[in-house]
Amino acid sequence: MTDDTKSWLLRNLLLALVVVAGIVFTISLGLKAITRHNRYVTVPDMKNLTLEEARDTVSMLGIKVDVSDSVFITGARRGVVFSQLPEGGSEVKKGRTVSLTMTSKQAKKIKMPSLVGFSLRQARSEMNAKGLRLGRIIYQADLATNLVLKQKYRGRDIAPGASIGVGSFIDLVVGLNYEEGETYLPNLEGMTYDRAVDALHDNNLNVGDARFDRSVRNYADSLAAVVVKQYPQSGRYVRMGTPVNLQLKHSETAR
């Protein structure tokens, strides 16, 4: 056998080995992908679904859901998924259980505190500690400005010790000495709704009409919405208790 023939045979043998190795490597990758496909699934995003809807969503994927906790979120839809672990988009093995935190269907009940005689600032601090929210500040003539005179729920006086749900809005009737009845109107643009409400209350003002545009489609969007307009406009002094109207957009569309 000549040297050329030996060289030719060697080259072809090496080429055949490379081809066979490539085929084996490709088949191995394919088998791994098929095996992974059969063993792993992508967890769907189940936020804002009811428990029944969440179970229906995963029923064909080979995974399960289990409620691990519940929270009360003021303003949120009740009885839906608030968060999940693993999160939507994660890859898990079939048979895995996804833990769900649901929004409570009923607010926890507490006893209404006694706020009469408190300053407005003290009353707000006490309400925050109890999980209550300040509704309207209603001013009436009195020698002591911002002294709480009455506490109301849904237009009626509410007595200390009465049962009330966490997150309820309490209106406070407070005194106003008309010799010191003006307050500065802050600039609210760029603030979230909750932050704007706090800023108004800090300045003894009320929220008037709050309008969310079409970019705000659900509760989660409302948390991300920011003030784009206010009326009256900032930079002036107005009467305490003045309602301020707000216009809000989703933060991503407000830029």
Say how far apart CA 21 and CA 17 lie, in whole Å. 6
In degrees, to the nearest 5, what angle opens at C-alpha 106 toward C-alphas 78 and 129?
105
Q: Where are the alpha helices (DSSP H) in 79-192?
A: 120-130
- Which tens digits make up the pLDDT trace of 21-72? 667 666 666 555 554 455 788 999 998 889 999 999 998 888 999 998 887 7
pLDDT tens profile 149-180: 999 999 999 999 999 998 899 999 999 987 77
pLDDT single digits (tens) 74-109: 667 788 888 899 998 889 988 899 999 988 877 788
Instruction: At 242, list the tokens.
Output: 């003045």
| 187 three-class SS | coil
Residue 38's SS3 state is helix
Nearest CA among 190, 183, 181 for reference residue 145: 181
154-161: long-range contacts, CB 8 A cutoff, minimum separation 24:
158/112, 159/112, 160/111, 160/112, 160/113, 160/114, 161/111, 161/112
φ/ψ (deg, to 5) at 210: -105, 115
Question: What's this model's pTM, rounded to 2 decimal places?
Answer: 0.65
User: What b/e readout covers 53-68, taking b as 16+ CB neighbours within 10 angstroms?
Assistant: ebeebbeeeebebeee
Picking from 116, 124, 125, the residue whose alpha carbon sits closest to that of residue 173 is 116
- Output 196-201 pairs: Cβ under 8 A, ≥24 positions apart: 196/227, 196/230, 196/246, 200/244, 201/124, 201/134, 201/137
